[in-house]
Amino acid sequence: MEVDLAEIIESYVDAHTDDLSPLLEDLLAETESITGLSRWSIGKVEGKMLQMLIKISNAKHVVEVGTFTGFSALAMAEALPEDGILTTCENSKAYADIALRYFRKSPHGKKIKLKLGPALQTLGAIPDNSQDFLFIDADKPSYSLYFDEALRILHPGGIIFVDNVFWRHKIFKKKISNENARAIAAFNEKVNRENRVEKVMLSIRDGVYLIRKK
């Protein structure tokens, strides 16, 4: 019988990682029942990783590109101090409405400012060197533009966390035909060449890039 090692590792990692709050579990279940797209959410392991990074780095001002139904935003808000602020960008009103409903149910929801509209527009209004942490998880062809904005709005020492840098393993193909995979592959090369940052790529889930502005 063939053994799927990746699946075994994933469930072992999951079993040895803290659970997130019951409200986040409810949100994931409702996201699946309404949209059928709960796989878009980062899930427990990445959610816990974001919480740990925010706590370890003492981040207070966080930006997220790609709210969807609010799972990652709420997970990050739970890790922020009382006076922390998370600005999250979403261009779909339908998804934003679900997110807002859950932010209102949480004592941490008051830390979240949801900006409806194109993320580049929202990022453009954020002052230079004002943010501690930025999470990129939206349209893949714009990742490079989001990265440029991240370098502008983060202060030195600020952190960028980027999801889906393997794009379902499609970036490993010799000839990449998928448009998102091509954009991600170009983004990964751009980050790797950039000497204003230090970085480590991690093979958790669909691949993440952890980057620190020097």
Ligand X SMILES: C[S@@+](CC[C@H](N)C(=O)[O-])C[C@H]1O[C@@H](n2cnc3c(N)ncnc32)[C@H](O)[C@@H]1O
Tell me if 91 contacts ligand X by CB under 6 A: yes
Minimum gap (Å) between residue 156 Cβ and ligand X: 26
Minimum gap (Å) between residue 92 Cβ and ligand X: 4
**Out of 24, 42, 153, 165, the residue judged to bind ligand X by CB under 6 A:** 42
Angstrom distance (rounded) from CA 183 to CA 140 = 6
| One-letter amino acid of 184 | I
Size of the site for ligand X (CB under 6 A): 18
Beta-bridged to residue 210, according to DSSP, are: 161, 200
Dihedral sign computed on CA atoms, order 22, 139, 191, 214:
negative
**Out of 41, 51, 106, 188, the residue judged to bind ligand X by CB under 6 A:** 41
Sheet of 85-90, strands arranged across: 112-116, 85-90, 61-65, 131-136, 154-163, 208-213, 197-202
Strand pairing class (61-65; 131-136) = parallel
Instruction: Rank residues 24 and 197 by Cβ distance to ligand X and give the closer one.
Output: 24
Tell me if 78 contacts ligand X by CB under 6 A: no
3 state SS for 160-173: EEEECCCCCCHHHC
Decide if 44 contacts 20 (C-beta within 8 A): yes
Tell me if 171 contacts ligand X by CB under 6 A: no
| One-letter amino acid of 100 | L
Angstrom distance (rounded) from CA 86 to CA 114 = 8
The count of other CB atoms within 10 Å of the CB of residue 211 is 24
Beta-bridged to residue 134, according to DSSP, are: 63, 160
Minimum gap (Å) between residue 2 Cβ and ligand X: 30
Tell me if 149 contacts ligand X by CB under 6 A: no
Residues numbered 95 to 114 that lie near ligand X (CB under 6 A) are: 95
Instruction: Rank residues 41 and 188 by Cβ distance to ligand X and give the closer one.
Output: 41
**Out of 59, 86, 136, 138, the residue judged to bind ligand X by CB under 6 A:** 138
Stretch that binds ligand X, among 16-24, 49-57, 89-97, 165-173 (CB under 6 A): 89-97
Tell me if 30 contacts ligand X by CB under 6 A: no
Decide if 165 contacts 144 (C-beta within 8 A): no
**Out of 118, 126, 152, 204, the residue judged to bind ligand X by CB under 6 A:** 118
Stretch that binds ligand X, among 38-46, 165-173, 177-185, 187-195 (CB under 6 A): 38-46
- Residues forming contacts to ligand X in the complex (CB under 6 A) are 40-42, 66, 68, 71-72, 89-92, 95, 118-119, 137-139, 142
